[in-house]
Amino acid sequence: PDLDLLVRQLENYLIFSKCGDLASLLNSIAAAALDPESAEVLRRLGCSNLLLQLLRSDDEDVLDLASAAIANLSGRSASGALVKEWRFRADGDEVVLSVREPSFAEADIGSQTWGSSPILANLIAAGAFPVAGKNILEVGCGTAIPGLLCAKLGARRMTLTDYHDRLVDNARLNIDANACAHNAVAEQLDWRYLDARKADLGTFETIIGADLIYDRYHADTLPHVIAALLDPTPAAACYVVLPDAEHR
């Protein structure tokens, strides 16, 4: 099947509520996602994020079909939590992270490590910006690989944040698993309630994030989050890695 066309049809339905046969479309996506290579392409095209929006539907048939398609797209995530080792080389030394990825049932879209996260981590390992001695915030941390690496590389304080309480719990497990409890913490941060959390969190010398924008709301809100939580000093900086926006 034309995977790009399937995703465009789903986007059109969500934007304009127009689709020749939504049930048929969802069945086609679910069937295509059974093939691992097709599932990977669909994920890159943002299909998972679009399907998640259908979970708000009041139509039980739509919910069932969307859930089936998400389960097929989830692949590994649908089978339960697992622990992966990630290896980085920084200043000639190998840094090994043990990272738990929760199940899809625990944390939906945050259940896996998305592509921009290890890219950001490799930039950190390569010394693209200073980490040691810094007070750093990771927004939308997910499995928290970049933030954990910052903690291992000597951040004065590393604060991992996400809106999903299960991801915050998972980040705490990863902090403990990597012996970072002395300089890393995990906190819940829902961007919708930033004002209520700003006083508790304070401001940060460095803000990092990866794969943060999944809809227009995130694109509109992220700059305000950064402006509110970044230190008002010339040396303060924000580093964000996002995937190719062609299909976002």
Is residue 162 over pLDDT 70? yes
Predicted confidence band of residue 113 (pLDDT cuts 50, 70, 90): confident
Distance between terminal CA atoms of the chain?
Answer: 21
Q: Which two tokens stand for residue 165?
A: 């309480």
Instruction: Convert the pLDDT of each residue in 10-43 to its tens digit.
Output: 988 888 876 668 889 999 998 898 888 888 889 8
Q: Give pLDDT, residue 52.
A: 80
When pLDDT is cut at 50, 70 and 90, the band that residue 246 belongs to is very low
Q: What is the dihedral of CA 10, 16, 22, 27, to 10 degrees?
A: 10
For residue 187, what are the contacts with CB-CB under 8 A and spacing of at least 6?
Answer: 159, 160, 161, 168, 197, 200, 201
* pLDDT tens by residue, 119-146: 899 999 999 999 999 999 999 999 999 9
User: What gap in Å lies between CA 87 and CA 115, rounded to an integer?
Assistant: 15
Query: Among 82, 195, 194, 74, which Cα is nearest to 139's?
Result: 194
Give 140's DSSP letter.
S
Greater confidence, 53 or 56? 53
Question: For residues 30 and 69, is the Cβ–Cβ distance under 8 A?
Answer: yes
